[in-house]
Amino acid sequence: MLNIPQITLLSKNRNMFWAFAGMLISRLGDGVYSVAVIALAYGITQSGAGTGIVLAAFALSSFLFGSLSGVASDRWNRKMLLVSSSLLCSGVVITMAVLSYSGTLNVTSLTILSFLLGAATQFFEPIVNTLIPRFVTKDELTTANATIGMTDSLGYIAGPAAAAVLLAWLPIEIVLLINAASFLFASLAACFLHIPQIPKTEKKQTSVFTEAVEGFTFVYQTKRIRQLFIISCLSLLAYSPFFVLLPLFLDQDLLLSAERQSAVIGMIYSSLALGQLAGYAVVSYLRFSTFKLLGIGYLLQAIGFGCLIFVHEELWIVFFIFIAGISFGLTGSAFHTNLQSNTPDDRLGRVYGVNYTVSGLIAPIGRSGSGILADALGTKVMFSGMTFLFLVSSAMSFWQTKGKAAAQEENNHLPM
């Protein structure tokens, strides 16, 4: 019988099964919501600017609440946080549906609700990531992170497609209620988690702000974690322009019609998600250290995005995007495994909070700046810049595999 590590892990580990189930349904709901909120916002505002404000409010909350969610994860009961945050998300979406049905939803209330939803969602994924080391052994960490990561790919593939079908047949209020039900399921799944308790060391209680700063201090002072964050931030800066460059690339370089552009963008999104899913599926079979996996992944990103400079056939573009997508499965698993292996449990939440705060800052900067640069320099120059940054990230990752500490990590943290 074929032994698939992810399925084996889910079948034998009750906590991983419920964490996977909750994340998968939540991700599918996110995919539905991402399409529904755009339709809702544009229907109310009838403008791109108004729609952008609603979406920006959701993104802003990621930056503002990333570190605070990490502190909450280290301070309080993580299971209760998972349950309560999911219930809050469900309540916010139900409120949207009720206000929309009553005709009282406007751009101000939708923006506020979008901000609140973004804030509430900050607690679920980081807390699941902090719990994984309690659910599995060190040898299973890479497989466990890949298993949870697959929910992102599956949700990204199926969620928007399901939303398109639902919106074609049902009122948007019903679609929102379906999304709210997904959060309720995630809350129910969290109730079935059995979280092994780790004795906490006695320490003086400090303010939330002080503990958030402690997370940044730990990342800065811990050499291995600091190097991991530098590499990750550099690669995120490299990747963030892609979705801004994509319509310009298809329009100005490939000269596709507006109708054809929409079809190709859909294929690219699907190819990227399928590649990511493939990366998560194969990473458990690759017996490399986490930094080597990062190096291989960023090299694949350099190849995938770099080849867009030279190719002009749609199928080749989709193929190279698939190659780049594989790398996200490799680097995502390696990043989380490295972070979890080198961070004490009582600080892991804060460190993940730092990660989400920094990501919430870098991505908007990269996207906004890339649009201006693309207008001035063209997409091929921008793709060249992305490729260079990915190559630097890859080289830095491979460089970290040198030395005794890396050799020890090679032996102790191989995927099984």
Each residue of 240-270: pLDDT tens digit? 888 778 777 888 888 877 667 767 877 887 8
Number of helices (H) and strands (E) in the chain: give both, helices first.
17, 0
Rounded-to-integer distance, Cα 15 and Cα 239, Å:
33
Cα–Cα distances in Å, from 270 out to 248, 264, 275, 295?
19, 10, 8, 24
pLDDT digits (tens, 9 = 90+) for 319-329: 999 999 999 99
Q: Is the dihedral of CA 308, 312, 318, 320 positive or negative?
A: negative
Read off the amino acid at residue 56: A
- pLDDT > 70? residue 130: yes
Q: 233 near 358, Cβ under 8 Å?
A: yes
pLDDT at residue 48, as a whole number: 57
- pLDDT > 70? residue 410: no
pLDDT at residue 73, as a whole number: 72
Residue with tokens 């919430």: 360
The pTM of this model reads: 0.80
Identify which has the larger pLDDT, 416 or 27: 27
Structure tokens at 155: 């949700």
Q: Which residues contact 235 (CB under 8 A, 6 or more apart)?
A: 298, 301, 331, 389, 390, 393
Helix or strand or coil: residue 204?
A: coil
Q: Which among 162, 144, 156 is positioned nearest to 277, based on CA atoms? A: 156
Q: Which among 41, 288, 9, 296 is positioned nearest to 149, based on CA atoms? A: 9
pLDDT at residue 7, as a whole number: 87
Q: Which among 229, 355, 273 is positioned nearest to 30, based on CA atoms? A: 273
Structure tokens at 113: 């609700």
Q: Which among 348, 276, 277, 336 is positioned nearest to 141, based on CA atoms? A: 336
Structure tokens at 135: 């659910």
pLDDT digits (tens, 9 = 90+) for 291-325: 999 999 999 999 999 999 998 888 999 999 999 99
Structure tokens at 349: 């939440």
User: What torsion do the CA atoms of 38, 40, 46, 50 make, to the nearest 10 degrees?
Assistant: -60
- pLDDT > 90? residue 357: no
pLDDT at residue 67, as a whole number: 66
Q: Which residues contact 106 (CB under 8 A, 6 or more apart)?
A: 44
pLDDT at residue 4, as a whole number: 78
